[in-house]
């Protein structure tokens, strides 16, 4: 009888429909009651506006108005949700009745059937019951899915989603605090905390609760604690850093960044501006002030009077902040930089304390991740920081061995901050799609760096532009590469910047100066090669109204321009590489080896028979021959290195312009393959000719 439907095949609806129906009614009534009470509060407060005269009156009435809007939206959301759930309950009751009826039919069928003689009618009834069951379940699931989606869409349309997100974030924050207050966490608990931080660390409610409950000192302590736990991090690694920071640490640092950020409309408003001070009087502004004041007080350390010991916690705070992937607000970073400059243990760039990188430079590195922060800190009209720090580094470079640090490691943050402030891009990076154009302040800082580089190339560089800030110059030129290309041509050329123009650029001089530093050279060369493809696409796009003939002419002019820029840049770099490769020839090593030999003859004179002045002279002569051969080989190797650099650069530039040109011609579709190849090769030759033209005219003995 197994082929006939059995009553046990018919499911029983387990839902407590009576309770669900009561909950739906409660939701509907609660929504209506909340709305009525909210309206009463709103109208009452608004009616007091004419009689309530106090400084906080506008703020209070403004808050009440926003509460009224949220009240209306929440009322609509709860009412709509209740209606959809009511329909779901009705469908569930219908399903329950259907299942009961089908189960009764199956029982009747089973009781009437003879296992040894099942009739055709009985088999048909069995299939009819199964078909009705499938239809009933399908209809129920469709109604259930529709109700769930409708409620979700309804909440997304109104502020219900924000209410639910806030509740979820606060619930997650309470759980995260409870976990962090435990001495030992299991792997499962660490994974749970990691998920909470990954989900909510950039939520204002979550981050604010954690910071207000634990404080920045405890957040930093927890981060240090989790750095040492044996936990499989979800944070990404790189070839340069195969041991990534634990994602728990990143999440906690992001919590601090989120809880201290400012509204988008105030992202670049100086702390002393009227609009920012006005915002500080709002509830959100007071929260920000309280949190940042507490963080800065923690970093400054306890008041201990006059003491030779550094009791500050700037190192602890900055190490913690350095793990964040969320940028910190410009106003917070500006305040921290001011605190560091005014602290008793501040070490200027001209005198790094103990040869170590300063807390100030670490703070500038963190600031560089937010261009608004770097720009605010280095704003030429707000302070003399840019000029003063540049001069301090110049002073340091004239006496580097007094402080025990060489190689510019103590200016990494300053390099990145200048790069970010001059380009409007995080750390002076390659412009991402949809990035904002540089502001007037960005261009002013770029002009400041470029002007100093030009002056340094004409005079004594150590007194004007320090070599250890060359990376900032390279990133600045790369970020404004369109303006440098326009210097050489009147053809229409694309601009990464689309912002205010740089003025009075001595392109040759600035490129020569940048080319002397390897990091600056690499940044500008890579930007120019990338610019090649952009140029090709631009000149053959609808954005430029040129005839085909003039498009080709403009492309050749652009290619020649690219060659000239790379020729000037590469000449300076290859000349510098040659000089650096042969610098040991003039370093006194030859004289030192001769003095060593003379010392040996003096020490052994009279002790070894026949060993005297003649033998010493022969040794010095042999040493001279060895040094002569070394000089030839060194100069030859250095010259080969310089030529290799030239060849690689011009080949890369020619290939880049030729590829971009070929793609543009192919896209046009009106040229044969042979014609396209011929035109592409002509563009490559144009790049080389532009490169050669400038390379041959720039003097190797140019004034430094």
In sequence order, the 6+-apart residues with CB closer than 8 A to the CB of 263 are 279, 284
Q: In the chain, count of helices (H) and strands (E)?
A: 24, 0
Residue whose C-alpha is closest to residue 133's, from 51, 25, 10: 10
Mean pLDDT of all residues belonging to the chain: 76
Cβ atoms < 10 Å from Cβ of 404: 10
pLDDT in tens, 466-476: 888 889 999 99
- What is the average pLDDT across 296-322? 79
Determine the Cα–Cα distance for residues 413 and 397; give it in Å rounded to an integer: 17
Angle between helix 120-157 and 160-180 (nearest 10): 90
Query: Are the C-beta atoms of residues 364 and 319 closer than 8 Å to each other?
Result: no
When pLDDT is cut at 50, 70 and 90, the band that residue 164 belongs to is low
CATH top-level class of 7-158: mainly alpha
* Token pair recorded at residue 429: 């990076």
Determine the Cα–Cα distance for residues 604 and 614; give it in Å rounded to an integer: 13
Determine the Cα–Cα distance for residues 310 and 615; give it in Å rounded to an integer: 62
Say which residue the tokens 């005014």 belong to.
342
Residue whose C-alpha is closest to residue 437's, from 372, 367, 374, 496: 496
* Token pair recorded at residue 378: 């280095």
Q: pLDDT at position 163, please?
A: 58
Distance (Å) of CA 704 to CA 457, 576, 701: 5, 12, 9
* Token pair recorded at residue 459: 């005079």
Q: What is the DSSP string of 527-588?
A: HHHHHHHHHHHHHTSTTS---HHHHHHHHHHHHHHHHHHHHHHHHHHHHHHHHHHTGGGGTT
* Token pair recorded at residue 232: 């499989």
| Phi, psi for residue 117 in degrees, rounded to 5 | -150, 80
Determine the Cα–Cα distance for residues 480 and 491; give it in Å rounded to an integer: 17
Q: pLDDT at position 610, please?
A: 40
Instruction: Name the residue with higher pLDDT: 183 or 489.
Output: 183
Distance (Å) of CA 608 to CA 294, 595, 615: 78, 20, 11
Q: pLDDT at position 383, please?
A: 93
> Does position 61 have pLDDT exceeding 90, yes or no?
no
Q: pLDDT at position 667, please?
A: 57
- What is the average pLDDT across 237-253? 66
* Token pair recorded at residue 62: 């403004």
Determine the Cα–Cα distance for residues 13 and 92; give it in Å rounded to an integer: 8
Query: Are the C-beta atoms of residues 518 and 573 closer than 8 Å to each other?
Result: yes
The number of C-alpha atoms within 13 Å of 70 and in the hemisphere containing its C-beta is 12
When pLDDT is cut at 50, 70 and 90, the band that residue 593 belongs to is very low
> Does position 599 have pLDDT exceeding 50, yes or no?
no
Query: Are the C-beta atoms of residues 341 and 392 closer than 8 Å to each other?
Result: no
Residue whose C-alpha is closest to residue 657's, from 575, 570, 565: 565
Determine the Cα–Cα distance for residues 68 and 61; give it in Å rounded to an integer: 11
* Token pair recorded at residue 253: 């640092």
Longest dimension (CA), the chain: 133
Q: pLDDT at position 361, please?
A: 92
Distance (Å) of CA 174 to CA 117, 168, 187, 191: 67, 10, 19, 16
Our CA dihedral for 215, 221, 223, 227, rounded to 10 degrees, sits at 180
Q: pLDDT at position 675, please?
A: 66
Q: pLDDT at position 663, please?
A: 64
Q: pLDDT at position 329, please?
A: 97
* Token pair recorded at residue 514: 């940048």
Q: pLDDT at position 595, please?
A: 45
Q: What is the DSSP string of 8-37?
A: GGS------HHHHHHHHHHHHHHHHHHHHH
Alpha-helical (H) ranges within 582-672 are 589-604, 613-668
Determine the Cα–Cα distance for residues 463 and 227; give it in Å rounded to an integer: 43
DSSP for residue 322: T
Question: Coil, helix or strand for 117?
Answer: strand
Determine the Cα–Cα distance for residues 361 and 472; give it in Å rounded to an integer: 14
Instruction: Name the residue with higher pLDDT: 187 or 20.
Output: 187
DSSP for residue 540: T
> Does position 580 have pLDDT exceeding 80, yes or no?
no
> Does position 606 have pLDDT exceeding 50, yes or no?
no
Determine the Cα–Cα distance for residues 702 and 458; give it in Å rounded to an integer: 9
Q: pLDDT at position 152, please?
A: 64
Q: pLDDT at position 53, please?
A: 64
Which of 43-47, 285-289, 621-625 has the least mean pLDDT? 621-625
Query: Are the C-beta atoms of residues 674 and 655 closer than 8 Å to each other?
Result: no
Say which residue the tokens 């000037």 belong to.
568
DSSP for residue 241: B
> Does position 175 have pLDDT exceeding 80, yes or no?
yes
* Token pair recorded at residue 205: 């409610």
Query: Are the C-beta atoms of residues 427 and 416 closer than 8 Å to each other?
Result: yes
When pLDDT is cut at 50, 70 and 90, the band that residue 275 belongs to is very high
Distance (Å) of CA 632 to CA 621, 639, 643, 645: 17, 11, 16, 20
Query: Are the C-beta atoms of residues 650 and 570 closer than 8 Å to each other?
Result: yes
Determine the Cα–Cα distance for residues 40 and 44; give it in Å rounded to an integer: 6
Determine the Cα–Cα distance for residues 695 and 573; give it in Å rounded to an integer: 11
Which of 209-218, 382-391, 456-465 has the least mean pLDDT? 456-465
Say which residue the tokens 């046990």 belong to.
8
Q: pLDDT at position 188, please?
A: 80
Distance (Å) of CA 469 to CA 450, 461, 506, 517: 12, 12, 19, 10
Q: How do the domains of the chain map onto residue ranges?
A: 7-158, 165-259, 273-479
Determine the Cα–Cα distance for residues 202 and 206; give it in Å rounded to an integer: 8
Q: pLDDT at position 18, please?
A: 74
DSSP for residue 238: B
Cβ atoms < 10 Å from Cβ of 69: 11
- What is the average pLDDT across 634-663? 65
Claim: this prediction has a pTM higher than 0.85: no
Q: What is the 3-state secondary structure (H, E, C) of 333-397?
A: HHHHHHHHHHCCCCCCCCCCHHHCCCHHHHHHHHHCCCHHHHHHHHCCCCCCHHHHHHHHHHHHH
Determine the Cα–Cα distance for residues 509 and 516; give it in Å rounded to an integer: 11
Determine the Cα–Cα distance for residues 473 and 505; give it in Å rounded to an integer: 13
Phi-psi region of 363 (alpha: psi -120 to 50; beta: other; left: phi over 0): alpha
Instruction: Name the residue with higher pLDDT: 650 or 180.
Output: 180
Burial of 585 (0-12, 13-18, 19+ CB in 10 A): middle
- What is the average pLDDT across 364-369? 95
> Does position 512 have pLDDT exceeding 80, yes or no?
yes
Angle between helix 359-367 and 314-321 (nearest 10): 20
> Does position 264 have pLDDT exceeding 80, yes or no?
yes
pLDDT in tens, 395-433: 887 765 554 444 557 889 999 999 999 988 886 555 554
Instruction: Name the residue with higher pLDDT: 189 or 539.
Output: 189
Determine the Cα–Cα distance for residues 400 and 85; give it in Å rounded to an integer: 75
């Amino acid at each position: 009888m197994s082929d006939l439907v059995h009553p046990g095949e018919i499911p029983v609806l387990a839902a407590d429909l009576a309770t669900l129906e009561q909950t739906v009614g409660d939701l509907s009534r609660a929504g209506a009651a909340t709305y009525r009470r909210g309206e009463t509060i709103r109208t009452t407060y608004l009616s007091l506006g004419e009689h309530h005269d106090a400084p906080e009156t506008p703020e209070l009435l403004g808050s009440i108005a926003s509460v009224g809007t949220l009240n209306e939206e929440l009322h609509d959301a709860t009412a709509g949700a209740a209606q959809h759930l009511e329909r779901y309950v009705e469908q569930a009751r219908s399903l329950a009745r259907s299942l009961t009826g089908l189960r009764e039919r199956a029982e009747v069928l089973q009781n009437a059937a003879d296992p040894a003689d099942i009739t055709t009618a009985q088999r048909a009834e069995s299939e009819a019951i199964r078909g009705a069951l499938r239809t009933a379940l399908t209809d129920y699931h469709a109604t259930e899915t529709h109700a769930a989606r409708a409620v979700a869409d309804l909440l997304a349309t109104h502020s219900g989603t924000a209410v639910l997100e806030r509740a979820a974030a606060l619930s997650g924050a309470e759980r995260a605090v409870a976990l962090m207050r435990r001495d030992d966490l299991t792997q499962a608990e660490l994974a749970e905390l990691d998920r909470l931080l990954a989900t909510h660390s950039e939520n204002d409610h979550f981050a604010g609760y954690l910071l207000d409950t634990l404080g920045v000192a405890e957040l930093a302590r927890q981060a240090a604690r989790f750095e040492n736990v044996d936990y499989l991090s979800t944070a990404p690694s790189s070839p340069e850093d195969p041991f990534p920071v634990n994602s728990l640490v990143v999440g906690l640092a992001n919590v601090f960044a989120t809880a201290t950020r400012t509204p988008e409309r105030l992202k670049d408003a100086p702390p002393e501006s009227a609009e920012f001070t006005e915002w500080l009087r709002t509830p959100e502004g007071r929260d920000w002030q309280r949190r940042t004041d507490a963080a800065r007080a923690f970093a400054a350390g306890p008041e201990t009077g006059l003491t030779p010991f550094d009791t500050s916690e700037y190192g602890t705070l900055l190490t913690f902040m350095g793990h964040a992937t969320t940028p910190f607000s410009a106003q917070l970073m500006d305040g921290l930089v001011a605190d560091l400059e005014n602290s008793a243990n501040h070490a200027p760039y001209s005198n790094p304390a103990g040869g170590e990188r300063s807390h100030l430079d670490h703070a500038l590195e963190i600031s560089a991740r937010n261009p608004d922060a770097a720009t605010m800190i280095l704003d030429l009209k707000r302070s003399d920081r840019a000029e003063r720090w540049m001069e301090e580094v110049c002073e340091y470079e004239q006496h580097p061995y007094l402080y025990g640090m060489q190689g510019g490691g103590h200016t990494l943050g300053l390099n990145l901050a200048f790069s970010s402030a001059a380009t409007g891009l995080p750390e002076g990076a390659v412009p991402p799609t949809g990035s904002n154009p540089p502001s007037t302040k960005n261009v002013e800082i770029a002009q400041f760096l470029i002007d100093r580089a030009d002056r340094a190339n004409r005079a004594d560089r150590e007194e004007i532009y320090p070599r250890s800030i060359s990376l900032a110059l390279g990133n600045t030129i790369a970020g404004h590469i369109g303006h440098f290309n326009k210097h050489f041509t009147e053809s229409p050329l694309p601009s990464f910047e689309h912002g205010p123009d740089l003025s009075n650029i001595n392109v040759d001089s600035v490129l020569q100066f940048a080319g002397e530093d390897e990091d600056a050279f690499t940044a500008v060369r890579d930007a120019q090669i990338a610019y090649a493809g952009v140029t090709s696409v631009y000149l053959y796009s609808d954005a430029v109204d040129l005839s085909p003939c003039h498009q080709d002419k403009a492309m050749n002019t652009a290619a020649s321009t690219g060659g000239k820029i790379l020729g000037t840049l590469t000449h300076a770099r290859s000349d510098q590489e040659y000089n650096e490769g042969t610098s040991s020839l003039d370093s006194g090593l030859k004289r030192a080896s001769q003095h060593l030999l003379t010392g040996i003859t003096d020490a052994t004179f009279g002790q070894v028979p026949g060993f005297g002045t003649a033998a010493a002279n022969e040794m010095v002569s042999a040493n001279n021959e060895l040094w002569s051969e070394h000089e030839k080989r060194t100069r030859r190797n250095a010259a080969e290195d310089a030529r290799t650099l030239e060849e690689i650069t011009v080949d890369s530039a020619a290939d880049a312009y030729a590829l971009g040109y070929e793609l543009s011609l192919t896209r046009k579709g009106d040229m044969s393959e042979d014609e396209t190849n011929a035109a592409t090769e002509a563009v490559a030759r144009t790049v080389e000719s532009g490169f050669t033209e400038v390379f041959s005219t720039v003097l190797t003995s140019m004034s430094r």
